[in-house]
Amino acid sequence: MDGNGGLLRWSSFAFVMFVGMATVLVPGALGWSKEGHIMTCRIAQNLLGPEAAHAVEHLLPHNLKGDLSALCIWPDQIRHWHKYRWTSSLHFIDTQTKTAHLIIQNFTSQLLHYREGTTDRRYNLTEALLFLSHFMGDIHQPMHVGFTSDEGGNTIELHWFRRKSNLHHVWDREIILTALKDFYENDMDLLQETIEGNFTDGIWYDDVSSWKDCDDLLSCPNKGIGGTPHYQFPNAERILEESENEYEEPRYPGLEATRPAEKPRVVVLGTGWAACRFMKGLDTKIYDVVCISPRNHMVFTPLLASTCVGTLEFRSVAEPVSRIQSALATSPNSYFYLASCTGIDTDKHEVYCETVSNGGLPQEPHQFKVAYDKLVIAAGAEPLTFGIKGVNEHAYFLREVNHAQEIRKKLLMNLMLSENPGIPEEEKNRLLHCVVIGGGPTGVEFSGELSDFIMRDVQERYSHVKDHIKVTLIEANEILSSFDVGLRQYATNHLTKCGVRLTRGVVKEVHPTKLFLSDGTEVPYGLLVWSTGVGPSQFVKSLNLPNSPGGRIGIDQWLRVPSVEDVFALGDCAGFLEQTGGQCFQL
């Protein structure tokens, strides 16, 4: 838009106005739900020229690889945050105060200056792009157009296929979901293809030119006002629920409880061995599944040690959950959420979550809730540190792919640093002293991989320091104590033969370059890997659920959590209750 509020330019970023107008006219795409916004952004992005496409890709976080649709619902997710509370009203175009389209004008103006580099530094152009893409969709949905007093159909109660709802919700979401189910086999890609075909060479082709320009700033928004409840139902009164007050704590957005006609929803917390095995066997013809986890893949943990030294690539030990359970990527009512569960309300059948950003948008965690019919808690465990000072700050754990990457980086960095001229012999010995704490399977496997790495790679690639690198495995008792005597003796002999020093001791304190054992022994190190087993996580400890003797979630022989309806637990986070007399095998 120009400074006088005139014509919308057909520029790199004005494409959202075009698609907003186009999509609102398409049967089955009238709902500006998550699906509606995603399709709008996808269609719009397909229409971009090379210059605009490059600009969009540059403005989005790198991990999205230029996919605008991945964040086009972001403005809905953050509208109740304190920082973005001012944006909440902008999802409805107010034709009296002109607030919404003045904001849109500002965002458009700044984005138009992107190429010249003359944008006002106070603007975050990434956020401007996301807001603009989202708002241009909202204001072309008739239920989002009106005056301040217009409630957008929320006060108009109706039944949609015998389900009680209101006009806004039906227009916003139910229409598009029903169309997907009845006409497009729940395939959003097929619906999108139909929409694109209608305005590229179909029934709306002749109308495309009229979608590109608005003769006046107010004319396009005003076209939808006549159909809004402000005019059609001027005497309608809305009854606010207590939790809906604008100045009260906002409701959590998210997935509401399923309706009788819908498939039951199974919510799975975690993407570890137990969670993935459960999801793989789940019949998605009967259930919808929602998986919530701070990682989107399963890790084959027994092979993690091999990735630390380059025997295997990191990608070979990680499997995306969408390949394990394809419904997470293909079913319209099944989802994977990259988030951490922060709480569970077993009375309301709801879990409360917080997003994981990984350095991209949003910058502060977004909170949401998911209602469940059945809940499977398979959130795993966390490394045991026994409260020893300095472990969390200075030691490396080996539970995730990023842990293995960090260990490999540290190991190679120490090897290269030790070759620099002028490094004292004592410092070389410290840098190249790899200390492993814990003689369980992970500690033994990692020590063995390190010894192989020294004999195979260090001898050839770092021959100048090959005599300085050493591996020490510290265990309070005997290594592999839970295995039979023959295997323990074999492992001891093999590690000793490969140059691994086995030491019995208990760590008392860890410092940045050395640790102390309980007998006073000082052990300098360059790399410290901590592998002393796992225990209940802070999340599991925070739950108001029965506990097993080991502090895990207590379960019966059917993996049910007693006294709590529709909740199950499995894997490392679960343990049999004492009275069952059974043993829960940890995965």
Q: What is the pLDDT of residues 161-189, one digit of tens each?
A: 766 677 776 777 777 777 777 787 778 78
How far is C-alpha 174 from the chain's CA centre? 26
Over range 32-37, report the average pLDDT: 72
Any idea which architecture 391-535 has in CATH? Answer: 3-Layer(bba) Sandwich (3.50)
Confidence band, pLDDT 50/70/90 cuts, at residue 232? very low
Could you give the C-alpha distances from 312 to 303, 308, 396, in angstroms and in order? 8, 8, 19
pLDDT at residue 480 above 70? yes
> Could you give the CA distance from residue 446 to residue 495 in angstroms, rounded to a whole number?
11
- When comparing pLDDT for 454 and 17, which is higher? 454
Over range 91-97, report the average pLDDT: 54
> Could you give the CA distance from residue 40 to residue 25 in angstroms, rounded to a whole number?
12
Range with top average pLDDT, 82-96, 233-247, 386-400: 386-400
Q: Report the percentage of the chain scoring pLDDT > 70.
A: 72
As given in the structure block, the two tokens for residue 166 are 């209101």
pLDDT digits (tens, 9 = 90+) for 101-131: 566 666 666 666 666 665 555 567 787 787 7
- When comparing pLDDT for 145 and 86, which is higher? 86
Q: Cβ–Cβ contacts within 10 Å for residue 505, how many? A: 16
Confidence band, pLDDT 50/70/90 cuts, at residue 62? confident
- When comparing pLDDT for 144 and 214, which is higher? 144
Over range 409-415, report the average pLDDT: 97
Q: Report the percentage of the chain scoring pLDDT > 90.
A: 51
Compute the residue count for the chain.
587
DSSP-assigned beta bridge partners for residue 474? 437, 503
At residue 244, the 3 state secondary structure works out as helix
pLDDT digits (tens, 9 = 90+) for 193-231: 887 777 777 777 777 666 555 555 444 444 443 333 333
Any idea which architecture 258-379+537-580 has in CATH? Answer: 3-Layer(bba) Sandwich (3.50)
Q: Does the CA dihedral 338-339-340-345 come out positive or negative?
A: negative
pLDDT at residue 32 above 50? yes
pLDDT at residue 141 above 80? no
Could you give the C-alpha distances from 529 to 24, 212, 444, 526, 586, in angstroms and in order? 57, 60, 11, 10, 22
Confidence band, pLDDT 50/70/90 cuts, at residue 5? very low
Where does residue 19 rank: exposed (0-12), middle (13-18), buried (19+ CB within 10 A)? buried
Q: What is the pLDDT of residue 326?
A: 96
Over range 94-104, report the average pLDDT: 55
Residue for token pair 């004319």: 219
Could you give the C-alpha distances from 451 to 12, 198, 434, 579, in angstroms and in order? 57, 64, 10, 45
Q: What is the pLDDT of residue 115?
A: 62
Q: Cβ–Cβ contacts within 10 Å for residue 29, how many? A: 24
Q: What is the pLDDT of residue 237?
A: 36
Q: What is the pLDDT of residue 1?
A: 32
Which residues, in sequence order, are CB contacts of 201 under 8 Å at separation 6+? none
As given in the structure block, the two tokens for residue 412 are 């190679």
pLDDT at residue 455 above 80? yes
Q: What is the pLDDT of residue 148?
A: 47
Q: What is the pLDDT of residue 159?
A: 74
Could you give the C-alpha distances from 411 to 212, 315, 418, 512, in angstroms and in order? 58, 19, 11, 15
15-243 to CATH, choices 3.40.50.720, 1.10.575.10, 3.40.50.620, 3.30.1960.10:
1.10.575.10
Mean pLDDT of the chain: 79
pLDDT at residue 154 above 90? no
Could you list the beta-strand ranges (E) of 327-450.
335-345, 350-355, 367-371, 374-377, 382-383, 433-437
pLDDT at residue 23 above 70? no
> Could you give the CA distance from residue 414 to residue 468 in angstroms, rounded to a whole number?
11
- Residue 457 is which amino acid? D
Q: Which of 258, 318, 315, 256 is CA-nearest to residue 293?
A: 318
Residue 555 has φ and ψ, to the nearest 5°, of: -135, 160
Portions of the chain given CATH number 3.50.50.100 = 391-535
Instruction: Characterize the bridge pairing of strands 288-293 and 335-345.
Output: parallel
pLDDT digits (tens, 9 = 90+) for 512-569: 999 999 999 999 999 999 999 999 999 999 998 999 998 999 999 999 999 899 999 9
Portions of the chain given CATH number 3.50.50.60 = 258-379+537-580
Portions of the chain given CATH number 1.10.575.10 = 15-243
Over range 468-483, report the average pLDDT: 95
Q: What is the pLDDT of residue 20?
A: 37
